């Protein structure tokens, strides 16, 4: 395994590594935990919605005790202007993405990554856990909003009155044996009238971030991709609704020669192998896993 340890936030999330007093009782498991992405803001008047913040991303090598059940939760994406839900494996958790802002709406903008701003805002919505995500972008000129923060990059600021900010890029992982991004921020919406049909909405960040919606053409905002923790795209045009964030994911990898796994009902998952390693990809639900 090549864990690339990062994403530690809480004091109890310190990596547990050998040597152990009795190695027959313990197992090193590489774990990737991605929370649900935040929902984007919607258009209010001529003010477009900010992009949803990405779900937090945490990855580390975890020392588990054999024959001990560990809780697993896969967080869902947030609906419009709602924060995503946390994901968890044992004591390691990832924080749900912050919601994108809508003008005049009091909402939750903070999360694993910050949601993008709307209107002329001087507040950059930051990450609740800086090791898991990045800040959202700022709005400009009341018609171009900020992109949602990604797991590894800040959301883009509005560029001009007719060009909104892109979502920040997610974090890369090779835990499955394939290089993939998780936790992309949502692109922000952009507003223009038919007399000025050159609005450019923000694009979603690498890692499942959804694209924002512009005034012309009237293409709907795109939801964050499920099982990536991507933030939703902001609403800006005739279809003024902000899109939902994508659900999270939990991936576990270990040497199959050392232990097998039992998963409780309620967890949706797939099983693959790379060499002597087993990889369990949990795509939904809440339950327990036990290594034997």
d(CA 283, CA 272): 14
Confidence at 13, pLDDT banded by 50, 70, 90: very low
Supply the pLDDT for residue 250: 98
63 or 10: whose pLDDT is higher?
A: 63
Confidence at 212, pLDDT banded by 50, 70, 90: very high
Q: Which of 43, 48, 170 is nearest to 97 (CA)?
A: 170
Helices of type H across the chain? none
Confidence at 5, pLDDT banded by 50, 70, 90: very low
Q: Does residue 242 carry a pLDDT above 50? A: yes
d(CA 252, CA 285): 15
Q: How would you class 133 by CB atoms within 10 Å of its CB: exposed for 0-12, middle for 13-18, buried for 19 or more? A: buried
Q: What is the dihedral of CA 47, 153, 204, 3, to 10 degrees?
A: -150
Q: Does residue 7 carry a pLDDT above 60? A: no
Q: Which of 37, 29, 35, 26 is nearest to 7 (CA)?
A: 35
For 11, the 3-state DSSP assignment is: helix
- List b or e across 254-272, with b for residues whose CB sees 16 or more CB atoms inside 10 angstroms: beeebbebebeeebebeee
Supply the pLDDT for residue 4: 38
Domain ranges of the chain: 1-292
Supply the pLDDT for residue 151: 95
DSSP 14: -
Supply the pLDDT for residue 218: 66
Supply the pLDDT for residue 195: 53
d(CA 138, CA 6): 27
Can you tell me the mean pLDDT for 27-35? 95
Q: pLDDT tens digits for 66-114?
A: 999 999 999 999 998 899 999 999 989 999 999 998 876 756 677 778 8
Can you tell me the mean pLDDT for 20-43? 85
Supply the pLDDT for residue 226: 98
Q: Are 112 and 95 within 8 A, CB to CB? A: yes
Supply the pLDDT for residue 20: 46
d(CA 213, CA 223): 11
Q: pLDDT tens digits for 247-268?
A: 999 999 999 999 999 999 999 9
Supply the pLDDT for residue 200: 87
Give the number of other Cβ atoms within 10 Å of residue 161's Cβ. 16
Confidence at 142, pLDDT banded by 50, 70, 90: confident
For 282, the 3-state DSSP assignment is: strand
Q: Does residue 16 carry a pLDDT above 50? A: no
Q: What are phi and psi of 122, to 5 degrees?
A: -105, 5
Confidence at 182, pLDDT banded by 50, 70, 90: very high
Evaluate the CA torsion angle 20, 24, 26, 32 in order and state its sign: positive
Average pLDDT, the chain: 86
- List b or e across 183-220, with b for residues whose CB sees 16 or more CB atoms inside 10 angstroms: bbbbbbbbbbeeeeeebbbbbbbbbbbbbbbbbbeeeb
Q: Does residue 277 carry a pLDDT above 90? A: yes
Q: Does residue 180 carry a pLDDT above 90? A: yes
pTM over 0.75: yes
245 or 163: whose pLDDT is higher?
A: 245
Q: pLDDT tens digits for 157-179?
A: 998 878 899 999 999 999 999 99
Task: Give the DSSP H/E element, type plus range, for residue 231.
Answer: none
Can you tell me the mean pLDDT for 276-284? 97
Q: Are 54 and 37 within 8 A, CB to CB? A: yes
Q: Does residue 239 carry a pLDDT above 70? A: no
């Amino acid at each position: 395994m090549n864990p690339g340890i990062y994403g530690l936030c809480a004091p109890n999330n310190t990596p547990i590594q050998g040597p152990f007093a009795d190695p027959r009782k313990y197992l090193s498991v590489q774990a990737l935990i991605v929370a649900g992405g935040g929902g984007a803001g919607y258009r209010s008047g001529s003010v477009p919605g900010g992009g949803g913040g990405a779900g937090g991303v945490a990855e580390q090598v975890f020392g588990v005790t054999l024959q001990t059940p560990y809780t697993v939760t896969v967080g869902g994406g947030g609906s419009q202007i709602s924060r995503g839900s946390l994901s968890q494996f044992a004591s390691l958790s990832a924080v749900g993405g912050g919601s994108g802002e809508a003008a005049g709406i009091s909402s939750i903008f903070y999360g694993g990554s910050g949601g993008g701003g709307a209107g002329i805002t001087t507040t950059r919505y930051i990450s609740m856990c800086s090791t898991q995500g990045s800040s959202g972008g700022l709005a400009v000129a009341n018609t171009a909003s900020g992109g949602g923060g990604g797991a590894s990059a800040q959301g883009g600021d509005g560029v001009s009155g007719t060009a909104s900010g892109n979502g920040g890029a997610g974090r890369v992982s090779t835990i499955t044996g394939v290089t993939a991004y998780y936790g992309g921020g949502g692109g922000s919406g952009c507003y223009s009238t038919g007399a000025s049909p050159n609005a450019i909405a923000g694009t979603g960040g690498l890692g499942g971030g959804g694209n924002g919606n512009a005034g012309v053409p009237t293409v709907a905002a795109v939801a964050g991709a499920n099982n990536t923790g991507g933030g939703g795209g902001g609403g800006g045009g005739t279809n003024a609704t902000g899109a939902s964030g994508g659900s999270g994911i939990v991936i576990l990898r270990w040497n199959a020669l050392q232990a097998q796994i039992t998963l409780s009902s309620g967890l949706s998952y797939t099983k693959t192998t790379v060499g002597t390693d087993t990889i369990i990809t949990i795509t939904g639900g809440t339950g327990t896993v036990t290594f034997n």
